[in-house]
Amino acid sequence: MDYSTDFQIKELLHQQTYLSNGELKSWKGKKDEVYSTISSSEEYKPTLLGSVPHMDEATAVEVLDFACDAYGKGQGIWPTMKVADRIECMEKFVSLMKPKRAEVVKLLMWEIGKSLPDSEKEFDRTIEYINDTIEDYKQLDRNSAKFSKRDGVNAHIRRGPLGVVLCLGPYNYPLNETFALLIPALIMGNTVIFKPAKHGVLLISPLLEAFRDSFPKGAVNVIYGRGREVAAPIMKSGRIDVLALIGNSKSAIALQDQHPHKNRLRLVLGLEAKNPAIILPDADLDLTIDECISGTLSFNGQRCTALKIIYIHEDIQEEFNKRFAARVDTLKLGNPWEEGAKLTPLPEPDKPQYIQDLIKDAQEKGASILNKKGGEITDNFIFPAVLFPVTHEMRVYKEEQFGPVIPLKPFNDIQELLNEISNSNYGQQISLFGSDINELAPLIDTLVNLVCRVNLNSSCQRGPDVFPFTGRKDSAVGTLSVHDALRSFSIRTFVASKDNAYNNEILKKLLESKTSNFVSTEYIL
């Protein structure tokens, strides 16, 4: 491992404040230390990065009060503000966020072990997401800057906010995925309470002042602490209108269960997945192997969109298995800033052991490790094992491994395989490798009803972020994309009036005087 770099931790980051009601309030209570699983010395030792507030229930509920006040049951400054003014706040935020790139990227590497190019990509992709969201909102506003008439009724239809949003993101994309919830929620006029993920929490610190300085007080609030101590009481209050979470269904259900008025609670959830690859006998193996390597092992397989099981046709399994296993062993393991490092330390200290348990279980039930380095374990990593043949009794078949282990399952009857996939609890995406259109066509026609994105000769992925990101069954609630997220965090609301001279005169005056922020046919260019 290479330690002599510009990316050394020179000073600790002790986050002593939280963002509430437009102020960075000082936290005097308990703190949680933040460690990286990356060692700063040859002799392995987790590295202390700093600390964050361990907030309590009372403070969390106080923050909730401020978020509710800022929403003002729909009467607050932020939800009633002109679209153009909300956009201006968001533009200011992006301009303040951009100079923080280096700080955030460095923390992404240390906190979650993401490689330098991928950490930079996460930051840049987030900036692009915000800019695209602003443009899409302008278009939405342009499309609404008109009246519709039907059956003698004039209607001015727009989208309005839903209320107070509790926003919780995952550790694997602590910036991008969290902001892909928070930004659309905010721009649509909702007020937000955001709690960073357990890993990937300090990287929000450089952005706190930007939040404080860009939005009216209480519109965005940032809290720290354990979910059950801060998020659960917030939900229990019944004052949260939208739960926006990317994580697993267990935590989503636990939080929903706290809410006393379930009919009022809207959900925007990105949950677990076990995306399969199906490799047909006529697949181009060079391309398939490339895609399966990135699909299974980008960010060590810690992506909800990762390929988590590969179904290989028996006719080509011998060649595929040999070549794929050899390729896995060529991947370079290194610290995130090391040139060419494709595999990096795992941020969860107990993950190597968990993956090892999956491997042992599979071996006991008849699978072998196909690659020489597979299963080699260190303090903060376990080298990806290619396991074959995997059967449905094995834990690695059933559990979402979210880490570096690759189950291969042979098949020869495609209908049996389709039945197996349709019985799965997951339904996010699939990768389909092959070239014969007579084979592919009926498969595509079925698979689009089992998942929400069929990737043809390509690995699974969320991006580009303008495309819909969703899932069936246990994999998601609601759809995210730049365009869809604006809809998920808003509701259609409108002003209607009978088409007569009296009403039309009032509408005319409303429009001419520009006294209403809602009734307006002006639009932003």
Who contacts 23 (Cβ-Cβ below 8 Å, separation ≥6)?
A: 212, 217
The contact set with ligand G3H (CB under 6 A) reads: 172-173, 177, 303-305, 461-463
Residue 461 CB, nearest distance to ligand G3H (Å)? Answer: 4
Q: Return d(Cα 70, Cα 182) in angstroms, integer.
A: 16
Q: How do beta strands 242-246 and 220-222 pair?
A: unpaired
Which residue, 195 or 462, is less far from ligand G3H as judged by CB?
A: 462
β partners of residue 158? 493
Which residue, 141 or 177, is less far from ligand G3H as judged by CB?
A: 177
Which residue, 51 or 300, is less far from ligand G3H as judged by CB?
A: 300
Residue 463 CB, nearest distance to ligand G3H (Å)? Answer: 4
Which residue, 174 or 410, is less far from ligand G3H as judged by CB?
A: 174
Contact 523, 141 (CB under 8 A): yes
β partners of residue 431? 277, 455
Residue 13 CB, nearest distance to ligand G3H (Å)? Answer: 25
Which residue, 162 or 460, is less far from ligand G3H as judged by CB?
A: 460
Residue 126 CB, nearest distance to ligand G3H (Å)? Answer: 12
Which residue, 136 or 177, is less far from ligand G3H as judged by CB?
A: 177
Residue 462 CB, nearest distance to ligand G3H (Å)? Answer: 3
Q: Return d(Cα 488, Cα 506) in angstroms, integer.
A: 32
Which residue, 288 or 455, is less far from ligand G3H as judged by CB?
A: 455
SS3 state at 157: strand
Residue 303 CB, nearest distance to ligand G3H (Å)? Answer: 4
Q: What is the dihedral of CA 229, 171, 471, 477, to 10 degrees?
A: 20
Residue 464 CB, nearest distance to ligand G3H (Å)? Answer: 9
- Tokens representing 341? 């490092």
Q: Return d(Cα 196, Cα 190) in angstroms, integer.
A: 18
Distances (CA, A) of 516 to 67, 90, 401, 474, 520: 24, 22, 53, 43, 7
**Element spanning 309, H or E:** strand 307-313
